[in-house]
């Protein structure tokens, strides 16, 4: 009798052990799966230091555009060229040497492919994705089927301006902040141009930016910020949030509004356009401490090659339009 019950107990214990092991396996697998999902959800770029020099932008853009317009056998993609160069110089274009680009070009002309040349660079995909987020809509076919630079300088053609690389400098209005853009000094009323096509996400007063306009690119990855627009007549008449604009359109006028809770106040010392670009890889980065604003100084330098010509299109409102 005792032996029999021991045998039965053994059976029960075995069954319990079996259940515990199965349960642990199920729990472990579901935990690992969850982790994998979390990883995928968070698998987007968190930070970009955009320091590609205007020289590197000019040279690679020329290779890209010429190879398409002259229909040469090898078509260059400036973003690929820049990503390769970034791997070579550790992502710091202060070390950019034209000879690095020349040797890359001769390798490609001798039949090597970008795929084989970049396969040993572990950061190539990171640079490619970050630089694409910045530059992918800057070169391509425009509405007239012409291949070239299709983004515009934010200051209209024939209007002078000056700027220097003031990204990251400190600003003291309100509280200590760093400067997340580039200030383009010019005269009040200078027509401001949409750099890229997109949808107007914000239009109105902001304590820091004054009359400002925020435009999101159609692919959602870039938010263009134009601030301190003119007192009384900041925007082209009729423009409102939700409207779409085309690269090269006049959107507003340079001014000195801002640094005030009260609307329509000129509290900025020197008339200028504050121009900024924010990169968005995931919507969680919008309006968060994780915003990615890039240094646009070299982009502004590069865009001097493509300016939008304007004229007074409405005598009554004194509004300008692109030619
Ligand atoms: Zn500024």
Give mean pLDDT, residues 26-39: 61
Q: pLDDT exceeding 70 applies to what percent of the chain?
A: 90
Measured in Å, residue 159 CA sits from the centre of ligand 1 at 19
- Grade residue 23 by pLDDT with cuts at 50, 70 and 90: confident
The residue with greater pLDDT, 21 or 108, is: 108
pLDDT of residue 103: 97
- What CATH architecture applies to the domain 170-322? Distorted Sandwich (2.70)
250 contacts 310 by C-beta, under 8 angstroms? yes
Measured in Å, residue 171 CA sits from the centre of ligand 1 at 9
Give mean pLDDT, residues 162-177: 83
Measured in Å, residue 178 CA sits from the centre of ligand 1 at 10
Give mean pLDDT, residues 49-68: 97
- Grade residue 17 by pLDDT with cuts at 50, 70 and 90: confident
Q: Is the pLDDT of residue 4 over 70?
A: no
Q: Name the average pLDDT for the chain.
A: 92
Measured in Å, residue 219 CA sits from the centre of ligand 1 at 25
Which residues of the chain are in CATH 2.70.70.10 domains? 170-322
Measured in Å, residue 274 CA sits from the centre of ligand 1 at 4
pLDDT of residue 209: 97
Reduced 3-state DSSP string for the chain: CHHHHHHHHHHHHHHHHHHHHHHHHHHHHHHHHHHHHHHHHCCCCCCCCCCCCHHHHHHHHHHHHHHHHCCCCCCCCHHHHHHHHHHHHCCCHHHCCHHHHHHHHHHHHCCCCHHHHHCCCCCHHHHHHHHHHHHCCCEEECCCCCEEECCCCCECCCCCCECCCCCCCEECCCCCEECCCEEEECCCCCEEECCCCEEEEEEEEECCCEEEEEEEECCCCEEEEEECECCCCCECCCCCCCCEECCCCEEEEEECCECCCCCCCECCCCCEEEEEEEECCCHHHCCCCCCEEECCHHHHHHHCCCCCCEEEEECCCCEEEEC
Indicate the Cα dihedral angle 96, 160, 278, 289, nearest 10°. 100
Measured in Å, residue 272 CA sits from the centre of ligand 1 at 8
Measured in Å, residue 174 CA sits from the centre of ligand 1 at 14
């Amino acid at each position: 009798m005792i032996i029999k019950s021991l045998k039965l107990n053994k059976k029960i214990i075995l069954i319990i052990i079996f259940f515990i092991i199965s349960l642990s396996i199920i729990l472990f697998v579901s935990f690992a799966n969850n982790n994998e999902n979390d990883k995928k959800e968070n698998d987007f770029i968190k930070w970009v230091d955009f320091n590609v020099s205007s020289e590197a932008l000019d040279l690679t853009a020329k290779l890209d555009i010429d190879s398409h317009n002259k229909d040469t056998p090898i078509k260059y993609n400036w973003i690929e060229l820049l990503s390769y160069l970034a791997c070579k110089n550790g992502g710091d274009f202060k070390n950019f040497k034209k000879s690095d680009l020349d040797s890359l070009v001769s390798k490609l002309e001798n039949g090597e492919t970008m795929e084989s040349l970049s396969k040993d660079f572990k950061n190539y995909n990171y640079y490619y994705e970050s630089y694409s987020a910045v530059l992918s809509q800057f070169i391509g076919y425009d509405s007239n089927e012409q291949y070239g630079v299709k983004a515009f300088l934010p200051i209209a053609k024939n209007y002078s301006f000056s700027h220097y690389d003031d990204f990251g400098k400190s600003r003291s209005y309100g509280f200590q902040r760093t400067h997340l853009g580039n200030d383009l000094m010019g005269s009040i009323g200078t027509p401001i141009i949409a750099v890229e096509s997109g949808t107007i996400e914000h239009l109105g007063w902001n304590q820091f930016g004054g009359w400002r306009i925020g435009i999101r690119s159609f692919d959602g990855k870039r938010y263009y910020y134009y601030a301190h627009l003119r007192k009384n007549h900041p925007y082209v008449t009729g423009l409102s949030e939700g409207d779409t604009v085309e690269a090269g359109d006049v959107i507003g006028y340079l001014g000195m509004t801002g640094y005030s809770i009260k609307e329509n106040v000129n509290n900025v010392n020197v008339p200028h356009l504050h121009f900024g670009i924010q990169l968005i890889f995931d919507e969680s980065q919008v309006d968060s401490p994780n915003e990615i604003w890039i240094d646009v100084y070299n982009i502004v330098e590069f865009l001097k090659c493509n300016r939008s010509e304007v004229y007074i299109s409405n005598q009554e409102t004194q509004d300008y339009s692109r030619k």
